[in-house]
Amino acid sequence: MPHISIATWNINSVRVRADHIARFVSEHQPDVLCLQEIKCRNEEFPSKAFSSMGLRYVNVIGQKGSHGVAIASKHPLQVIQAPTLCPRSEARVAAVAAKGITIHNLYVPAGGEEPDPVGNDKFAHKLEVLARMKAHYAAAPKGRPTLLVGDLNIAPGEHDVWSHKQLLNVVSHTPVETEGLEAVRAAGDFVDVARALKPDPEKLYSWWSYRGDWKTANRGRRLDHIWATPGLAERCDRIEFIGAPRGWDRPSDHIPVMARFSI
DNA sequence: ATGGTTGTTACACAA
């Protein structure tokens, strides 16, 4: 049975982490790798390094300094119109089709420190992106196999954080965010494939802060997601949270999450 | 309650 594997990873600078990407690709062989926070302009993206990893096809949505997303693939990519989800026109969405599957790679704003849309415009921005996501996926035609992946900067469930109680008022796990993300998922009829294959109460984390001893404290959050439309989700036979890269030299604060689908 | 780190940028800001 043929398969396609897709990974998502907030890389926090693609140029600093090119060696980590090469090691991950060599060890795990994703067919498609979706990156967030590449932090470079399109012309600064290290396409040659990706070619030598076997990821010859790339779709880069870059900008100077911050944000930026990219999709790199072993298979040819058809670039498609990305939904307009960011009111500030930041580089946060890449959209392609590969092997007959539509792939949306998203980087939702982190939202700043204070979970108050009045006093914190970054939080207001995050909620606006969520609202646009809900409207877009509610209206999107259903039936085509689709993946929505990326750093959604929200840990939706109580077992997606190290302490539900202590994070209820912390940006990434507040009710307005978790309920907002659930509304997006329902609007698009998506399945959270990580939880479909690894149900509660197993703890699942994809991010640990740079501050403090991440490994000992293990105060993680599941911010990075792979969602699939129902027919595709049924064909997901593997999901992995690949923790090793968090322990490599000068790591990203996020780890890769990879899913495999029979096709 | 506070401070703890990283990357890009330019004399902070975003995460």
Q: If 0-12 CB within 10 Å is exposed, 13-18 middle and 19+ buried, where does residue A198 land?
A: middle
Rounded to whole angstroms, how far apart are CA atoms A140 and A104?
A: 12
Average pLDDT estimate for A96-105: 98
Q: What is the pLDDT of residues A188-210, one digit of tens each?
A: 999 999 999 999 999 999 999 99
> Which pLDDT does position A1 carry in this prediction?
74
Residue pointed to by tokens 């043929």: A2
Residue type, A199: P
pTM (2 d.p.) = 0.97
Cβ neighbors of A155 (< 8 A, separation 6 or more) are A161, A167, A172, A173, A178, A221, A222, A223
Q: Which domains are assigned to chain A?
A: 3-262 (3.60.10.10)
Smallest CA-to-CA distance from A71 within A59, A62, A55, A85 is with A59
Nucleotides of B under 7 A from a protein CB: 3-9, 14-15
Token readout for A43 is 């012309």
Give the distance, in angstroms, between residue A24 CA and nucleotide B7 C1'. 21
Give the distance, in angstroms, between residue A253 CA and nucleotide B12 C1'. 21
Report which secondary-structure segment, H or E, holds A35: strand A32-36
Give the distance, in angstroms, between residue A166 CA and nucleotide B1 C1'. 15
Q: Which residue is nearest to nucleotide B10 (CA to C1')?
A: A65
Q: Percent of chain A scored above 70 by pLDDT?
A: 100
Closest nucleotide C1' to the C-alpha of A90 = B14
Rounded to whole angstroms, how far apart are CA atoms A116 and A139?
A: 28
Cβ neighbors of A159 (< 8 A, separation 6 or more) are A200, A201, A202, A203, A204
Q: What is the pLDDT of residues A127-182, one digit of tens each?
A: 999 999 999 999 999 989 999 999 999 999 999 999 999 999 999 999 999 999 99
Residues with CB under 7 A from strand B: A 12-13, 15-16, 37, 39-40, 64-67, 109-112, 122, 153, 209-212, 250
Per the prediction, chain A carries an average pLDDT of: 97
> Which pLDDT does position A74 carry in this prediction?
98
Q: Which residue is nearest to nucleotide B9 (CA to C1')?
A: A65
